[in-house]
Chains A and B, each alone.
Chain A
């Protein structure tokens, strides 16, 4: 039965892709045949994996955590796969291409949260949790209110992130493959639903691992090809780049304008990563705290290496793409002047792949970019579906009295709903300015999810009342300050000046969350609060030693 539905859906997706490809030939940008062939190979391989994973996904535990038997190295690669989105590959190399050094500042911000996750979060998270980070936050607090809060934070983060990914993917695929925007969004949505509903975490993990491998290999090839031109001497590369773009690209530019914005962005990035539900969920796929710790070590290595590559790729694009007539968008130049490239600055890495490796390698990198989008949206959707099925359905509605098979079915249904929502949102937001969306997702993760998770692990005095009010206020502050800030209030709502002057609200919203949590916890004199403080000792021992922690399932 399942395999028949599976086959039907695959046939549907393939025929849609084929139809779209034929239709795409009519578009202005030429159809990239090698890209489509390589992408079809990737999709085929991942669907085989999904089929294999579907047969091994028999319980809710398998569905959420791949059975808990992923190794530290594999999980490190999968975390890197989750984190190195198309937005960071194309966006950061595009930023380096545009502003040089600023791109490096940005990527460092995205990296430094990882060591802190290792020192503070990873091991206790693994020791206390089962499927979602809400398991940990609600470990000794009242289930219903904490689960609702944590699930709201998770779903808000996931949906915002999904919108950004879907819109980005639609535009990217439109450009790379010559497909129509709506078709691209629908294909991404359908494939993602296939991976997650049938293969659960096991398929999602392997899609992440393969994609991380392909992306790192492709980016390595590009960086080496660039450096080979300059006999592996950075001095020569930089010298040539500054001849073309001026010496400003070697120093910090306009990314960080004032100290408050600088600190606020830094806070959002560091603590935001530690509150992203799809990242936190990955720690439950390994067997114990030791493997969780190894995962972060490998992930930090892969991600750091990747950011060094994107820096080289950005400079490579300056020397090979900038002012190169082959990639110059003449129509746009006639209007705006300067030296615009086809598809905008975020296409710098894509054009560079063509410059160093011809049509074939362009096809490879395009297919990798598509694969990257698929992998990231799959991880996000799985995290969102878990918040719905495990936190809201199983824990809040059914009060934990639900069997594993039913919970898994609800999770699959939630995946389909989220997939449809993602497709609709992707289409609705096509023409919208979504620059604020990822920033808002990070701000919510940093100011609603992270404080509650962190305090529940380390602070005996945390009570349900404090957590709910503090986390709720953190979430509300983040959302309100983004709306009143320059990006939404001025750029989108077209008001004269912003009511809240900073682009990044995290510094303020995270302080609100911590202070409110503290005040409403210490003033909580209820009986429940006393029990919660008493339960801390046992929780702390389990967090530190792993005694009583969830193990892996035997297969």
Chain B
């Protein structure tokens, strides 16, 4: 990639939009995942009895079971949310950028 092309793409509003939107989306989702996971791990480290509380008076199933399974689902759902938006919105922007420099490639 030569300097001219770098400058051209850098100044392309679609490129700027793609980078800013995707970066902020990725960072938000990453932080969300880390918060959920570390909240879980630190709960175990500082207050393990919380996850061991029974769901109801006569049940042996504890709070920890639905919470644990929910984190697994949450991780998968997050990848789904990202993939869906990237497949449509981000890829559309990206195609526009590629189109704009097609002749030079």
Query: Interface on A for B, CB 8 Å cutoff?
Result: 101, 104-105, 107-109, 111-112, 114-116, 118-120, 123, 234-235, 238-239, 242, 247, 250-252, 256, 258-259, 262-263, 266, 270, 290, 293-294, 296-297, 300-301, 304, 307-308, 537-538, 541-542, 544-548
Q: Are B9 and A545 in contact (CB under 8 A)?
A: yes
CA distance A548 to B101 in the complex (A): 11
CA distance A262 to B82 in the complex (A): 28
Given contacts A116-B33, A118-B79, contact A250 B71 (CB under 8 A): no
Which residue of the partner chain, among B26, B45, B52, contacts A119 with CB atoms under 8 Å? Answer: B26
10 residue pairs bridging A and B, Cβ less than 8 Å apart: A104-B69, A119-B29, A252-B48, A252-B52, A259-B45, A294-B83, A294-B87, A296-B79, A541-B9, A547-B101
For the complex formed, measure the closest distance between the CB of B84 and the CB atoms of chain A, giving whole angstroms: 9
For the complex formed, measure the closest distance between the CB of B73 and the CB atoms of chain A, giving whole angstroms: 7
Interface residues of B in 26-70 (CB under 8 A from A): 26-27, 29-30, 33-34, 37-38, 40-42, 44-46, 48-49, 51-52, 54, 59-62, 64-65, 68-69
Q: Does B91 contact A (CB under 8 A)?
A: yes
CA distance A262 to B39 in the complex (A): 11
Interface of B, secondary structure class, is helix
Query: Interface on B for A, CB 8 Å cutoff?
Result: 1, 6, 9-10, 15, 18-19, 22, 26-27, 29-30, 33-34, 37-38, 40-42, 44-46, 48-49, 51-52, 54, 59-62, 64-65, 68-69, 71-73, 75-76, 78-80, 82-83, 86-87, 91, 94, 97-98, 101, 105
Q: Are B69 and A308 in contact (CB under 8 A)?
A: yes
For the complex formed, measure the closest distance between the CB of B74 and the CB atoms of chain A, giving whole angstroms: 9
Q: Are B68 and A242 in contact (CB under 8 A)?
A: no
Q: Are A251 and B48 in contact (CB under 8 A)?
A: yes
Q: Are A301 and B76 in contact (CB under 8 A)?
A: yes
Which residues of A lie under 8 Å from residue B101 when comparing CB positions?
547
Q: Are B86 and A544 in contact (CB under 8 A)?
A: no
CA distance A542 to B98 in the complex (A): 11
Q: Are B26 and A120 in contact (CB under 8 A)?
A: yes
Given contacts A108-B40, A297-B83, contact A259 B46 (CB under 8 A): yes
Which residues of B lie under 8 Å from residue A252 when comparing CB positions?
44, 48, 51-52, 64
Q: Are A119 and B41 in contact (CB under 8 A)?
A: no
Which residues of A lie under 8 Å from residue B15 when comparing CB positions?
541, 544-545
CA distance A541 to B9 in the complex (A): 8
